[in-house]
Structures are given as structure tokens and as C-alpha cells.
Amino acid sequence: MNNEPVLLAVDVGNTNLTFGIFCGETISGTFRMTTKLPRTSDEFGIWILDLLKARGVKKEQVQDVIIASVVPGIMHSLNSGIIKYLERRPIVVGAGTKTGLKISMANPRELGADRVVDAVAGLELYGGPVMVIDFGTATTYDLVLADGTFLCGITSPGIRISANALWNEAAKLPEIGIEKPDSILAKDTVTSMQAGLIYGCIGQTEYIIRKVREEAGLSEMKVVATGGLGRIIAAETKLIDVYDPDLTLRGLQLLYQKCAPKTSSRRNDAGLGKRSRIEEIAVSNRLAMEEE
């Protein structure tokens, strides 16, 4: 990679931390770390620097960092590691973040940051009304109208949670790989479990899509899927229009453009010149930090 400035987007999920490297609006690389291992701020910082280096990105190229997290317990160490080793104060998506959404929920603050980010990406990239399905630790179905109203959200156990429940709660059922069997007409224990998990999830997905369309009266609703196991489900149903594996990271990049402070004319006069948008926002953030 050349010396272009980059934005580092971080999706902190219950299973993995997923990092996206953006040059402008283009995602040029991704990498993952497991969420479940406890790490100090030094471990986070060194790991991130090493993984960036492996992708040809120098520390000085990282102009800003934006994070969406559903795991509060690791945020102190993660933030500290980024501040110490990247010398950037991350923007953390949360209450007060400018999203452009109107969240029509009883308690909008209860809505996970990942779902907000997915909703922004689904609406801006694919138009509304749109249902965004994230096949993660939990499987979530979120409906966003064309005017930006986040109308409803549905949550169910993810495929991996269901699989873990099978082999942890039933003594004679083995731990298996989660993949689609050749046929639903299973002839052994492993394929019977795989058939139940995969075809059961397909059936749930199709029913929820149809039921939401019916109750919301949205026959033209688009359906966008993301999440690691979403690829398997999306390939097996005609009701999912798009599978976008980088939807959450792309949503973080879109939110960065919305919520980062814009540079003032005074700062432009102070030598910003023809910096890229990422450079301008990052310089503005650092100036704001110095003024605090």
C-alpha cells in the first residue's frame, strides 16, 4: 500500500473484533482478532500495529479510528491501546452520534451500536425501505424505512449459539462444523444436526421476512444480509437480495463522514491545503483534543 492516509474502522462483536482499512471510501483490507481473550492495552496496541504492518500500512498513515462495540468490558483496554500506540483518540459510536436515523423504539439507547451502523449502511448503500439481517452471535433483523425511520428490530439466537446449545445440552450429540449438508434427507447424526441448523435458519429467515413485509405493508422492501454465516443462508434463499460481508465496516466509514467535526476555514487557512477528507477530519479532531 502507498502512503495514502487511512481510516481504521473497528467492529467489536461478541465473537470477533473486525478491523477495516479504508482509503477514502474504498476498503483496502480487513483483519480479525478474537474478542474472548482478555488483553491489556499494550497487547491490543502491539497486535494492531503488527497487523497493520503486515498489510503494508504504517502507523503514520492511520489518520483516525472509529469503533462500534457491543462488548463494553474490553473498551477501556482497546481505547487505551489505540491512544498509546496509534496516537489517535477513537470516535466511539454511541448515544449522541449523528446517524441520520429516527429510531422508533421504546428506548433508543438500548439499540446496539452494531445495529445502528448496519442500519445506516443498509439505507445509504441500498436505499429504503430495507431489512438488514446480521447473522452474528445473535441473528438480528432490522427494518429501516426510506425516510430513515428505524421501525423495528427482531433478535433470535445465532446459528452458532443454537449449535452450541445442541452439543452442550445433549450428552450424545457431538461438536460439528457448521455447514450445509448435501441434502436435508440426513442419514447420520452429523448431517442431521447440520440440516436442522442450516435449513432451520433458512426457514426462520424466510418466515420473518414475509411476516415483516405483511405487517409493515412493504411489498417492495429490500433485504440485505451480512455476518460470517450469512453467506450460507443468503445462497439458499431468493428472499435475500444482497449479501454484503463488509456492511458494518462500510457503515462505520459512512458514520465517520457524518459525525466527525468538519474543518473550519480558520484551520484551512492554517495549512490544511488540499488534504484528503480523512486527513482534514483527523487534523480537526486532534486540534479539538488540544483545545479541551
Q: So which residues are the catalytic ones?
A: 114
d(CA 273, CA 292): 24
DSSP-derived secondary structure for 12-48 = E-SSEEEEEEEETTEEEEEEEEESSS---HHHHHHHH
d(CA 12, CA 114): 8
Residues 21, 28: contact at Cβ < 8 Å? yes
Residues 100, 121: contact at Cβ < 8 Å? no
Residue type (1 letter), 205: T
DSSP-derived secondary structure for 279-290 = HHHHHHHHHHHH
Q: What are phi and psi of 115, to 5 degrees?
A: -70, -35
DSSP-derived secondary structure for 164-189 = HHHHHHSTTPPP------S-SS--SH
d(CA 181, CA 185): 9
d(CA 21, CA 55): 9
Beta bridge partner(s), residue 7? 22, 64
